Structures are given as C-alpha cells and as structure tokens.
Amino acid sequence: MSGAEFVPLSLTPLLIGIFAAIACALPGNFLVLRRQALIGDAISHVVLPGIVVAFLLTGAVTAWPMMLGAAGAALVSVVLIEAIRRLGQIETGAAMGVVFTAMFAGGVLLLERSDTSSVHLDVEHALMGNLESLIWLEATGWHSLLDGDALAGLPPELSRLAVVLLLVVLFTWIFWRPLKISTFDEGFAQVLGMRTGLLGIALVMIAAIAAVAAFDAVGSIIVIAMFICPPAAARLMTDSLGRQVAWSVVFATLSATLGYVFAGYGPLWLGGSDSVSAAGMIATVSGVILALTALFGPRRRGMMA
C-alpha cells in the first residue's frame, strides 16, 4: 500500500486506536490486580448521561464540555457507589450494578427526550465510536508529516489522546513504587506511611480520564475491553509486575493494530465488500489474545512452585 493512501485514511485511526488502547491498559493492570476490573465497565456506562447533559447545556457537540461532562458523571458515579455501599451496607458489585444501570437509563432517556436527531449523538455511536471516520484528509503522503499546513488538519482526537496517554504514563512512572506496594500489600504500604486511600482514588480518576478520552474517540466497547483484556492476558504471562505492564502494552498495541486491519481489510480478503466495526474487531482480537494466553500462557495457573 502506498503512503498516499495509507497516511490520510489509515494512519490516524490506527494511531488513535493504539493510543487509546495503551492509555486504558496501563491503569487496567492495577485495576485487575486490585479486583476493581469492573470499575472500567461502570465508568463507560455512566459516561453517556454526562455527555448528554453537557450537550444539553452547551447545545453543541464540542469536545471539551463533553469531556468535562463525562468526567463529572464518572466522579458522580464513584461517589454514589461509595455512598450506597456505606449507607445501605450493600456489597460493591451490587452497588455498582444499581448505580451504573440507573445512570445509563437516565442518559438514554435524556437522549430520547431531547432533540439530538440533527447531530451525531446516539447510543450506537457511544457504544461503537467512529474510529473509521477519524481520517486525515489534508495528508497526501508520508511527507505530510513534516508539512505544517497538513498537520493542522489532524483530527483533534489524536492530540487529545496523546496528551492523556502522556499523563497516564507519567502517573504510572511517578507513582510506580507506591502503586506496586499498595496493590500487593495495602497494610504494609500504610505502615510505610503511604496514603493508600488517596492513591486508590487517584488511580480510579486516572482510569476515568483515560476512559473518557478514549470513549470520545473510539466508543465504550474498546474502553472496557482494553481495561481488562490486555492486562489479564499479560498477567497470565509473567509473575513480575514490570514485565506484566510491558506485556500489556504489547498486547494492547497488537489488538489495536490487528483489529483495525482485520476490520478494514478482513471482509475484502473473504470476498465481502463492506468493512466491519473496527471497535468491535479490536475488542474481539484482544479477547482472542486473552484466550490464547489462558490456554498456553506460562503463568496461567498462578505461581509456579
């Protein structure tokens, strides 16, 4: 394939997919180890009402208010889950189920009641994203990467995700040691004087930021899949946290790349004509990777004696 075709049509969606996958997989490693994997699931459901409310307040589909709305909704849901868990003495899973389904239902209702038919805002879009449409029309080939005018036409999702990815990487790098210790032995971390409660909230907030930024570009399916599948697969490969994080980045990148390619070209290879959903295919590929590691991974049964 020539650069003239690849760069404008496939480079940016591919990069956005990879950035989103890695940004979600990094905090996902800790969430999986802390048995909080379903926080990603809950956040990706409650983002919908946040986005709808932001849209109703501003009256336009603009990125920043929507991201703020989504982040606000994520924060509200975390607080609500905690409040219901404490006030009602209900176990976390059930409290989560109550909150995220009710908020999602509220989002759908708001969406149906308000006149959003004129803009591109619907439930299917929220679930599946529109990775395929994030193309870079100004580019004409590889040389456009050095061309300032063409670069100005890059989809804004790309730069936003790049910033968020950088934030996530920095967070993981700076708090590596506290995160590691508090994940494996919370009591020991407290003895060392770490504020483990605060750290846990920071981790959830970082996960929420990654989820919201990725959600904006690629829809909620990829977000949930990338929070869990690459870290889970990586956990079946190694006992060391450092290597697990590295594997998860590899798996996330692999899922995003293969998923995008299969979605775009797979049907052509099989003789079809239309491409299929890239978001769905990326999630599927990450599941296949997880299945393979669950069957053949060297550490699939836990610590070796």
User: Where do contacts with other proteins occur on this chain (CB under 8 A)?
Assistant: 32, 35-38, 40-41, 45, 84, 87-91, 93-98, 101-102, 104-106, 108-109, 112-113, 123-124, 127-128, 221-222, 224-225, 227-229, 232, 235-236, 263, 267, 272-277, 279-284, 286-287, 290, 294, 297, 299-302
CB of 6 to other proteins, least distance (A): 22
Which residue's CB is nearer to other proteins, number 72 or number 266? Answer: 266
Which residue's CB is nearer to other proteins, number 109 or number 119? Answer: 109
Question: With contact defined as beta carbons under 8 Å apart, do 209 and 73 qualify?
Answer: no
> What is the distance between the alpha carbons of residues 172 and 158, in angstroms, rounded to a whole number?
21
Q: Which 8-state DSSP code applies to residue 164?
A: H
Which residue's CB is nearer to other proteins, number 63 or number 291? Answer: 291
Question: With contact defined as beta carbons under 8 Å apart, do 235 and 244 qualify?
Answer: yes
CB of 157 to other proteins, least distance (A): 20
Torsion of CA 268, 273, 277, 278, to 10 degrees: 30
Which residue's CB is nearer to other proteins, number 194 or number 290? Answer: 290
Helix (H, G, I), strand (E, B) or coil at 228: helix
CB of 159 to other proteins, least distance (A): 26
CB of 41 to other proteins, least distance (A): 6
Question: With contact defined as beta carbons under 8 Å apart, do 219 and 239 qualify?
Answer: no
CB of 149 to other proteins, least distance (A): 35
The 10 Å CB-count burial string (b at 16+, else e) for 217-229 is: bbbbbbbbbbbbb
> Can you count the helices (H) and strands (E) in the chain?
14, 0
Which residue's CB is nearer to other proteins, number 144 or number 182? Answer: 182
